[in-house]
Structure 1
Amino acid sequence: MSDRKTAVITGASSGIGAVYAQRLAAQGYDLLLVARRADRLADLGARLEAEFGISVQRWIGDLADPADLARLERRLEEEPVAMLVNNAGAGGLGPTATTGADAQEALIRLNVIALTRLSIAALAGFRKAGTGTLVNIASVIAFGPSAGGASYSGSKAFVLNFTRSLQMEYADSDIRIQAVLPGPIRTEFFTSQGLSDSVFPDTAYLSAEELVDAALSGLEQGEKVTIPSLGSPAIWDAIEASRQAFFKDVLGGQVAERYKGG
């Protein structure tokens, strides 16, 4: 690697991850691209090196595999980077009665365990440098329990709360931490699971380019939570106000009247 800053992007071989790679290369970052598909990473890396004159390392592995995950953790700990985009994720969509427990466990290993461990490894390097940027890709479904996406919805709710808690932990530092909540995006997400994009109307989709450009704009504006397709910030403000009212009410130290007697 050169003396330039290095950004690590997981799930970089296509879709959102590949767009992050292009945009960060254009900003002058060297890249460490992480994915399972070696051929796609090779093609993407070669294009970015030729177009932007940066250095690209390819890391091939499955982050749901503990050995592969540990290998990337060591890389982040031994050679600290400037930015980590935790984009790799799985959907595991479908009723749990048919998808089964193994598929749900694999999803949790990738969406929750890998993201958590890589965040912690990257933050260790950020603390040494006194600066760094962590971007965790959650989803609007963090707010939407789904009969066909129990583990996926739960995993993204974890990502949101985990990331927001880290923001509180590092509030007095120069470390930037952002949660990005995409809605439906035109990628291989649905088709790779044998599903049709028609699960949402055409008008509901953003392109991966629109999503990433908005997320990077939100990062530069200092947003802690960026929801690119949310048209009215007042809705988010109302959610936050309701959340605070909820905690005020549940910490009142009294059992609610509806549970007394009878």
Structure 2
Amino acid sequence: MTNSSQKTAVVTGASSGIGAVYADRLAQRGYNLVLVARREDRLQSVAAAIKSKYSVQVDILCADLSTEDGLSTTEQLLKEKSFDLLVNNAGIARLAPLAHGPLSDSLSQIALNITALTRLTQAILPGMKQRNSGTIINIASVMAFSTLPMGAVYSGTKAFVLSFSQVLQQELSETDVKIQVVLPAATATEVWDNSGVPLSALDPSAVMQTENMVDGALQALDNGEAITYPSVADEGMISRLEEARVAVFAAAQTSQVAPRLISQ
């Protein structure tokens, strides 16, 4: 990405963790920023720290993207002004067996991880297509592939983000608008505090530092990666996974029932 103080990035969930690091790194690259989150005091702190280090403009928008008011306000901003980059990072995790978790936990994850991400993408995309320029970074998770018995809704929401991003990549393949989907594994952020699984319960050797995750994801963006697994070293494994997905889809395009499913 080209350094230019004329470019502006919007980062959701920017008051801490992955979002705050993205804000710092994009400012370092010369982007002006609009930081979106629900905690105004934390947003002010992040904005002040960035402005003390970099010569960029930093605006904040205090909005709870799990609410209609917060989401519609942010949507309107994305529709009315021109932005060069959107980081759809806002999200929550509530990890518990579905039968024992409150419905409110399921609905809040869907609202933030799916509905907000979809609406903000749809708000900003027409302008990017018209200008034939822009980048959207969607933060998913390796839990999109998870079979862990505690994250049915969370994993489902992140699987949506992955599929949503992959289809958008195809829709935009003839344009200069880029979609990157990032699938981190366990990352040392505050998301664990209210998830039902404390960070301390995880193997420290399996938890990536937030700065390293974001730096790796941005390097992948620079390298042209559309689907990024920051902690997976074997590129061949990633390629084989994608090739298998495409092959299974192709194999499914037939009117014939699979032989194994035909009674003898």
TM-score interval w.r.t. the shorter chain? Answer: over 0.9
- Residue in structure 1 matched with residue 47 of structure 2 by the alignment: 45
What's the TM-score, normalizing by structure 1?
Answer: 0.95
- Residue in structure 1 matched with residue 212 of structure 2 by the alignment: 210
User: Which residue among 47, 56, 59 is the counterpart of 1:57?
Assistant: 59
**How far 1:194 moved relative to its partner?**
4.7
Q: Which runs of structure 2 are paired with 1:211-226 in the superposition (5 Å)?
A: 211-226=213-228
**How far 1:193 moved relative to its partner?**
2.9
- AA aligned opposite 1:214: G
**How far 1:3 moved relative to its partner?**
6.9
- Residue in structure 1 matched with residue 18 of structure 2 by the alignment: 16
User: Which residue among 103, 115, 118 is the counterpart of 1:116?
Assistant: 118
CA spacing shift, 1:260–1:195, aligned 2, 3 Å: closer
**How far 1:54 moved relative to its partner?**
1.2
Q: Distance in 2 between matches of 1:24 and 1:244?
A: 33
What's the TM-score, normalizing by structure 2?
Answer: 0.95
**How far 1:164 moved relative to its partner?**
0.7
Q: Distance in 1 between matches of 2:129 and 2:202?
A: 41
Q: Distance in 2 between matches of 1:191 and 1:67?
A: 26
User: Which residue among 82, 86, 104 is the counterpart of 1:84?
Assistant: 86
**How far 1:169 moved relative to its partner?**
0.3
- Residue in structure 1 matched with residue 99 of structure 2 by the alignment: 97
- Residue in structure 1 matched with residue 148 of structure 2 by the alignment: 146
- AA aligned opposite 2:72: A
- Residue in structure 2 matched with residue 73 of structure 1 by the alignment: 75
Q: Which runs of 5+ in 1 are unaligned?
A: none
**How far 1:189 moved relative to its partner?**
1.6
- Residue in structure 1 matched with residue 240 of structure 2 by the alignment: 238
Q: Distance in 2 between matches of 1:186 and 1:215?
A: 15
Instruction: Tell me the alpha carbon deviations over residues 133-186 of structure 1, each in whole angstroms, 9 at most, x when there is no partner.
Output: 100000011111332111100000000000010000000111111000000101
**How far 1:122 moved relative to its partner?**
1.2
Q: Distance in 2 between matches of 1:130 and 1:233?
A: 30
- Residue in structure 1 matched with residue 177 of structure 2 by the alignment: 175
Q: Distance in 1 between matches of 2:197 and 2:154?
A: 15
What is the total number of aligned residue pairs between the two structures? 261
Q: Distance in 2 between matches of 1:189 and 1:14?
A: 9
**How far 1:244 moved relative to its partner?**
2.3
After superposing the two structures, state which structure 1 stretch, 122-131 or 243-252, moved more: 243-252
Identity between Structure 1 and Structure 2 (%): 43
Q: Which runs of 5+ in 2 are unaligned?
A: none
Q: What do you get for the CA RMSD once the two structures are aligned?
A: 1.5
Per the alignment, in what secondary structure is the counterpart of residue 178 of structure 1? strand
After superposing the two structures, state which structure 1 stretch, 9-18 or 188-197, moved more: 188-197
After superposing the two structures, state which structure 1 stretch, 145-154 or 69-78, moved more: 145-154
Instruction: Tell me the alpha carbon deviations over residues 96-126 of structure 1, each in whole angstroms, 9 at most, x when there is no partner.
Output: 2222212101110100010001011111121
Q: Distance in 1 between matches of 2:120 and 2:246?
A: 30
